[in-house]
Structure 1
Amino acid sequence: MGPLLVLLSATCFGAMAVLGKLAYEEGVPPTTLVLLRFVIAALVLGGAVAVAARMGRPALPARPGGERRRLALTALALGCVGYAAQASFYFAALERIDAALVALVLYTFPVMVTVASVLLGRDRLTPPRVAALVAATCGTALVLVGAGGLAFHAAGVGLAFAAAVTYTGYILVGDSTVQRVPPLTLTALVMTGAAVTLAVRALLTGGLDVDIRPVGWLWIGCIALVSTVVASTAFFAGLHRTGPSTASILSTFEPVATVVLAAVVLGERLSPVQAVGGALVLSSVLLVQLRRRTPLPPGDAPGVPTGARR
């Protein structure tokens, strides 16, 4: 289920670009879209956590001392700092360079996550994993370069790289936290933290424009529910089962999903180069599965915290 959850997450995240274009066509301002995305997601997830608690599934399991408070604050910080900063760097880069180049630089994060996980002792390199990482990276490059010419801008590339570094830290911290916090609770706290940060920014920069047509609200709701609630919850649940390296490699399916959905919904053409890139990304999924089918050492049993099994 771990790889399937990460692939579901990547598909839902990949749909956000298409849904965002549909929202922009209805006159939804980008800053309003980003803030409402997190506010709606935080409210929905908060309600889901409350319902789960009533059904006997506590938001945070019993922990000694002040550990529960530390875990909650860490999850909020993931949203306040990590998610909000990554989104800010990403959209700032989009103002300066092509979306394809932003995504191409952003998707250096699987390499950074894998290297960092190995250096931190959380993971180890195996031939199938290295092959999967190379296939996913090359495939992502082909999918994005196949979209056409890319305009280079040093500041824009720097901002996109900052987004990749921030996302790397977000995944690594999230991996250590998700082992001790249920995915639903973790996602709710992250979305709440991001909503708070972006709300403060909106207040400091002129407020929020909510004069939006009904269809615009529909697309905002789709982005909040599909590309945020489902996508983030599925990612953390998949991360819990696969570990950071595998999750980051499988996440490279996101641009493939974006290109395919854009072709279906918006009528954009899928070039042969992009088709080859998509096939390479899909091959990385098979390579990761080959690794997961190899016999596990005694400490690698499912359910053991990542730091203890790697």
Structure 2
Amino acid sequence: MIAGPDSAARQQGIALALASAAAFGSNIIGAQLAGQAGLSGPLLVFYRVFIMLALVGVAAALLRASLRIPPGQGRPLIAFGLTSALVGSAYLSSVAFVPVSVAAVVFYTFPVLIVLAEPLLTPARFSPDRLVIALVAFLGVALVVGPGLDGLDLRGLALAMAASVLAAAQFFAAGACARTPLVPKLLWSHLLILPVTIIILWLVGGFLPPQAIAVAPLAFALATGTYLLGFLLQVMALARVAPGAAALAFCAEPVFSVAIAAVVLGERLGPVQYAGGALVVGAIMANVILEQKRAQPAPA
């Protein structure tokens, strides 16, 4: 059966979401290496926003792209920019109170939230099979990350949950501003992200001049480059596929992180992590099959 334009767009969207998850998974490794060299997370966010704005400005000039926002796209674009800024800030702040593994498991409840909220916020119908897939993927993420139950703090749990809710809102906002072309979407969203990162960096008191990047140039390049690629692919994916399907693909992000850490940093994986990774991969494959069935036209 030949796939139609809608089916092809959905398949492209899921593929782009998986590629974005792989980039963001690599980003965590780069951020970890940069942190070990003394470059904090907020500092990385601050400088990568400037780099994104510079690159988008060059692209706009070379392509002679219009920076106008289409009618009716202003509010969802503002929501996308603000949620993009706040989701990372909340997640980053949560690990100051709870272990990273606990924060990650709480944060990756956002695909389940998206599947539950999608029928309320979009024309999509509630899909029990997609909810089952989301729960299986979440179980896989929990097994891969392996949360510890010690050192739990309500402040950390609340921040991680806030990051999850913000991530869900970010996906819906990105879907709502799908008609905004790529270049203005990247430009205006990062112009909204910039003041938020400046405030956060001012609050934590971790500003360092650009010369500080010289202490870990490769780690900075990895953390920045993978973020730029991951964000670009995420925006492209959410312009082609519904938030629920895209969110399930992003469950692969911690799997990529753990796998890359095992190869690059020499971290050892246990049988439980392998089993969790298999659950996530199986859930993503089931999601792809489900999307293909949804895209098939009804028989005459």
Please, what TM-score do these two structures have when normalized by structure 2? 0.86
Cα distance change on mapping 1:187 and 1:213 into 2, 3 Å: closer
Asked if the contact 1:40–1:221 (Cα under 8 Å) also holds between the matched residues in 2, the reply is no
Asked if the contact 1:10–1:231 (Cα under 8 Å) also holds between the matched residues in 2, the reply is yes
CA shift at 1:148, angstroms? Answer: 5.3
Asked if the contact 1:139–1:281 (Cα under 8 Å) also holds between the matched residues in 2, the reply is yes
Correspondence 1:110 to 2:111: yes
Letter in 2 for 1:19: G
Aligned to 1:82: 83
Q: Percent identity?
A: 28
Letter in 1 for 2:144: V
Aligned to 2:194: 195
Aligned to 1:219: 219
Cα distance change on mapping 1:283 and 1:204 into 2, 3 Å: closer
CA shift at 1:85, angstroms? Answer: 1.6
Letter in 1 for 2:32: K
Letter in 2 for 1:37: R
Asked if the contact 1:123–1:245 (Cα under 8 Å) also holds between the matched residues in 2, the reply is no
Alignment of 1:100-249 (within 5 A): 100-145=101-146, 150-178=150-178, 180-203=179-202, 206=205, 208-210=207-209, 211-214=211-214, 216-227=216-227, 229-249=228-248
Cα distance change on mapping 1:200 and 1:92 into 2, 3 Å: closer
Larger displacement relative to structure 2 (90-99 or 124-133): 124-133
Correspondence 1:26 to 2:37: yes
Query: Matched residue pairs, number?
Result: 286
Aligned to 2:73: 71
Per-residue CA deviation, residues 259-307 of structure 1 (Å, 9 max, x unaligned), is: 00111111111111111111111111111121122254779xxxxxxxx
CA shift at 1:72, angstroms? Answer: 4.9
Asked if the contact 1:89–1:159 (Cα under 8 Å) also holds between the matched residues in 2, the reply is yes
CA shift at 1:246, angstroms? Answer: 0.4
Structure 1 segments of 4+ aligned residues over 4 angstroms from their partners: 147-150, 203-207
Aligned to 1:36: 47
CA shift at 1:188, angstroms? Answer: 2.9
Cα distance change on mapping 1:183 and 1:285 into 2, 3 Å: farther
Aligned to 1:94: 95
2:264, 2:188 → 1: CA distance?
A: 32
Cα distance change on mapping 1:213 and 1:130 into 2, 3 Å: closer
Per-residue CA deviation, residues 178-230 of structure 1 (Å, 9 max, x unaligned), is: 2x112343233222321232124435665721241525233223322222x21
Aligned to 2:8: none
2:116, 2:129 → 1: CA distance?
A: 15
1:21, 1:295 → 2: CA distance?
A: 40
Aligned to 2:22: 11
1:77, 1:214 → 2: CA distance?
A: 35
1:28, 1:42 → 2: CA distance?
A: 21
Q: Which stretches in structure 2 are left out of the alignment for 5+ residues?
A: 1-11
Letter in 1 for 2:155: A
